Chains A and B, each alone.
Chain A
C-alpha cells in the first residue's frame, strides 16, 4: 500500500515505529511517525529532500558527528541508507542541486563540498574564514552557482569549477540563516540583521529590512504568492516568535505581522511562560502553509493567510532541530536532537537522535477562509 499520498495509519505497518520506545514514559516519538533507520550519531543540524527532478524521495541530513547521510525514502515508508560522506567538522547546511545529482554540504571546517551521489565522490568547492552556516544552490537564467553564508560575515557565490568565488558580498554580521527562492534570497544575520537580495543577472543586495522581532534571528524561509513568485519571508527568532515580512506588496507594512509560538504556559503562575526558540521553518510546496519546529520539542503547522494554527504536535522529549518537506509536500521530515538551547549541561552524547517522517498531504491544507 502506498504510504505517501493516502492517509494510512502507518503506525500499524511493520516499520520501526513501536518497537523502539515501548517503555512506559517514553516520549521520543509521541506522534507515532516513521523513524528513519540509521539516524546520525549526533545532533542533526539540517535536512533536505531531493528535488522533483529526481524520481523517488531522497533525504540528506547533516549532523554534528561531522557526517552527511543520505537515505532513500520509499513509498511504503521504508528508509534505506544509501551513502554518507564525512567532513572535518560538524555539518550545518545541506542543499541539493536542481537536477538532483549533487548535494552541497557546508561545515564548521570552513569548507563546503559538492557530493556527487552517482560516483560518491565529494570535492571541496568553497572556502571561508569561519564556519559556513548556510549553503544554497542558485539556478538563474544565465548562471548557476552555490551561495554560502558564513560566520566570517561574508556571503560568497561559487561556480563549482573554480576555487575562487565569482562574487563575495559583505554582511553586517555573522550569517545565521538564509533562504533562496529564485529570484529572491534572504539572509538573516546576528544582531537582528536582515538583508534581501535579488538574484537575476547577478546577485545584488536589494535592501536591509528592519526585523520586527526583538531578539536573535534563528531561521528564515521565503514564501510565494499564488503566482508562485516569492513575495516575502518568515523569520523565526529564539524568542518563540515568528514574523512575516511581505516585500514588494503595496501594503507591506500593514500586512506584515508577528505571532508567538513554541511557548508553554506554566501550570503555576498565569502569564509566565517558557519561551523556546524556533529552530526551523519550511513552507509546504503546494499549499503554502508553514511548518515550524522548536526547542520545545513540538512542531506546528500554520496557515499564514488565514492566520490560523492548523496543528500542534505533542512534545517530544528532545528539541526538534530541523525540518523539511519533500518536493511534492507529501512528506514532512523533522529531526529530534539536542539543539544546545540549554547549554552543555543538557547535552547527552549517548542520547539517540531521530529523524521522523510524517505524512503531510492532509494536515497542511489551509483553512477554507483563504
Chain B
C-alpha cells in the first residue's frame, strides 16, 4: 500500500478509513503492548522506508540520502530502528492530535509499566534488576542490575574488612534509590507524561552505582557516524570527548555520564523509549538514532529526542517534544556531533558536549518549569530566522529551529 501523504503531514481526513497506509498506526491501535511492539515494528518498517523517500523529496534529497543510511545500513536492526522512527514519525507528525493510535499504544505501555512496577514492589521480587517494559527494548534507566551473588560477595568482603556498616549503608542507599524510581514510575499516566521527563531526568541523576560501561564505549569512539548500527551512538559520543575516559566499572561515571557506552548492548532494541541522550541513560542508541531521524524529517523532533523518556516507547515525540525544548541546550548537544555529516546540527552550540558533564548539566529545572509552554514556543521567543523557517514550506537544513513552533503556525 502506498503511504498516505496526508497522514504523514498529520492531516489525513479519513483516519482509519483511509485506503492508504498510515505508518505507525497499523499495529498500534487496539493491540496489547507486547504484540503491539512487534506489529508496530513490522508496519513501521514499511512505513519508514516508504516515508523516508518521501521526506527526502520534501526537504533536500541530497542530505536525506545521506541520512537514510542510518535506516538502511542497520541491517538486522532495521525493524526496531524502523519502529522507533516510524512511531516517532507518527507522533511527530501529529504531536498535537489528541488521541492518535500511537497515543493509545503509549498509554497501554504506560499502564503496563505501572502494573509491572506495582507487582514488582509488592511481590518481594529481587529489587536490583534491570527492567524492560517491552521485551524488545533496552532496560528502563534508573534500575541497576545486581545479582544476588554480587551483593552477597560485597557483604562478605565488607565483613572481612570489618566494615559492615558501609555495606549496610550502600545497600540502604540502593534500596532507597530503587524505591524512589519505583514511585516515579508508578505515577506515570497520560497527563503526567510531560512531567515524566523531568522525573526521568532526575532519575538519571540518581542512577545507581556501578553500571559500568564496558569497553563497548571505547568502540564507539572513532567510528564513522553513518553506517553501522552503532553509528548513531557514535555521533553522540564523538561530540563529547569527555566521555572517552569513561572506563568500565567506574561507578561515578555512570552517574555523571550518559551511559552511552552501555547502549550497544541494547543496540538492537532501538525504540523511542530511551532517554537519551544527554541524560546518560543506557538506551542512548535508540534515543540517538531516533532523534536523529526525526529532527531531520520534521524539525520538531529535534528537541524531542533529547528528552525522550525511558519508558515512553510509543511516541516519545509526543511527550518528549515539550520538555526537550525547555532544555534547548540538549538539542544543541545533538547538533554538535552532527558536525561530521549532518549539517542540520552543525549549528547548535557545541558547548554541551564540550563539557562532559552533560547529563547533570542538562537544565532539568528548565524543563520542569516549562511544562506549560513546552509544546509550543510563543512567537515572541523565536528569532526572525526561526520564524521564517516555520513559516516556510520546508525546513532548510542548517537552519532547522531548535524550539517547537508557535501555536499559531500549526495547521492540523
The answer to the question of B18 belonging to the interface, with a C-beta cut-off of 8 Å to chain A, is no
* Chain B, range 203-261, C-beta contacts under 8 Å to A: 212, 214-216, 248
Query: Per-residue 0/1 for B118-153: is the Cβ within 8 Å of any A Cβ (1 yes, 0 no)?
Result: 011011111011111101101100000101111111
Asked if A161 is an interface residue, CB under 8 A from chain B, the answer is: no
CA distance A348 to B203 in the complex (A): 35
Q: What sequence of 0s and 1s flags, for each residue 85-121 of chain B, a beta carbon within 8 Å of any chain A beta carbon?
A: 0000000000000000000000000000000100110
B269 touches A191 (CB 8 A): no
In the complex where A210-B268, A238-B125, A344-B155 touch, is A191 in contact with B145 (Cβ < 8 A)? yes
Which residues from chain A contact B264 at a C-beta distance below 8 Å?
Answer: 172
A344 — which chain B residues lie within 8 A by C-beta? 152, 155, 167-168, 171
Residues of A in contact, count (CB < 8 Å): 47
A135 CB to nearest B CB, Å: 14
B126 and A173 contact, CB distance less than 8 A: no
Give the shortest distance, in Å, between B200 (CB) and chain A (any CB): 18
Chain B nearest CB, measured from A100 CB (Å): 27
Cβ contact within 8 Å between B268 and A208: yes
Main secondary structure of the interface of A (DSSP, over half): loop
Docked complex Cα distance between A29 and B152 (Å): 25
Question: In the complex, what residues of A have CB within 8 A of residue B266's CB?
Answer: 191
- Residues in B with CB closer than 8 Å to A89 are 153
- B contact residues around A218 at 8 Å (CB): 147
Query: Which residue of B136, B139, B149, B269 is within 8 Å of A133 (Cβ)?
Result: B149
Q: Is B366 an interface residue (CB 8 A)?
A: no
Bound Cα distance A45, B147 (Å): 13
- Is B316 located at the chain interface by the 8 A CB criterion? no
Interface string of A185-204 (1 = CB under 8 A from B): 00001111100000000000
Cβ-based interface call for B66 (8 A): no
Query: Does B379 belong to the interface (CB within 8 Å)?
Result: no
Q: In A328-345, which residues have CB < 8 Å from any B CB?
A: 339-344
Q: Which residues on B sit within 8 Å (CB–CB) of A210?
A: 135-136, 268-269
Tell which of A45, A131, A190, A274 touches B124, judged by Cβ atoms closer than 8 Å.
A274
Whether the Cβ atoms of A277 and B124 lie closer than 8 Å is: no
Given contacts A151-B150, A210-B135, contact A277 B126 (CB under 8 A): yes
Q: Evaluate whether A176 and B147 lie within 8 angstroms (CB atoms) in the complex, with A153-B214, A212-B135 already known.
A: yes
Distance from B137 Cβ to chain A, minimum over Cβ atoms (Å) = 9
Closest to A209 in B: B268
B214's contact among A90, A173, A208, A339, by CB below 8 Å, is which? A173
Q: Interface size (B, Cβ < 8 Å)?
A: 43
For residue B265, CB closer than 8 A to chain A, the reply is yes
Q: Which of A190, A208, A275 contacts B130 (CB 8 A)?
A: A190
Q: Tell me which residues from 146 to 167 in chain B have a Cβ below 8 Å from any Cβ of chain A.
A: 147-153, 155-156, 167
Please pick, from B116, B123, B133, B151, the residue contacting A274 in the complex, using a CB distance under 8 A: B123
- In the bound assembly, the distance between CA atoms of A133 and B155 in angstroms comes to 17
CA distance A239 to B152 in the complex (A): 19
Answer whether A340 and B149 are a contact pair too, CB < 8 Å, given A173-B265, A191-B262. Answer: yes
Q: Which chain B residue shows the least CB distance to A193?
A: B265
Asked whether any CB of chain A lies closer than 8 Å to the CB of B282, the reply is: yes
Output the nearest chain A residue to B137 by Cβ-Cβ distance. A210
- Bound state CA distance, A151 and B120, in angstroms? 25
Nearest chain-A residue to B266 (Cβ)?
A: A191
Beyond A64-B152, A153-B248, A173-B265, is A272–B123 a contact (Cβ under 8 Å)?
Answer: yes
Expressed in whole angstroms, the Cα–Cα distance for A294 and B328 within the complex equals: 49
Q: Are A90 and B123 closer than 8 Å at their CB atoms?
A: no
Residues 156 to 181 of chain A near chain B (Cβ within 8 Å): 170, 172-174, 176
Partner of A215, one of B124, B130, B149, B248: B130
Besides A190-B145, A218-B147, 18 more A-B contacts (Cβ < 8 Å) are A90-B156, A172-B216, A174-B147, A190-B130, A191-B262, A192-B132, A193-B265, A214-B132, A215-B125, A240-B125, A274-B123, A275-B120, A275-B123, A275-B125, A276-B124, A277-B126, A342-B124, A344-B171
Give me the interface of A with B, judged by CB distance under 8 Å.
45, 64, 89-90, 92, 108, 131, 133, 151, 153, 170, 172-174, 176, 189-193, 208, 210-216, 218, 237-240, 263, 272-277, 339-344, 347
Interface CB pairs A-B, < 8 A, 13: A64-B156, A90-B153, A173-B145, A192-B145, A215-B125, A216-B145, A237-B129, A239-B129, A275-B120, A340-B149, A340-B155, A341-B126, A344-B171
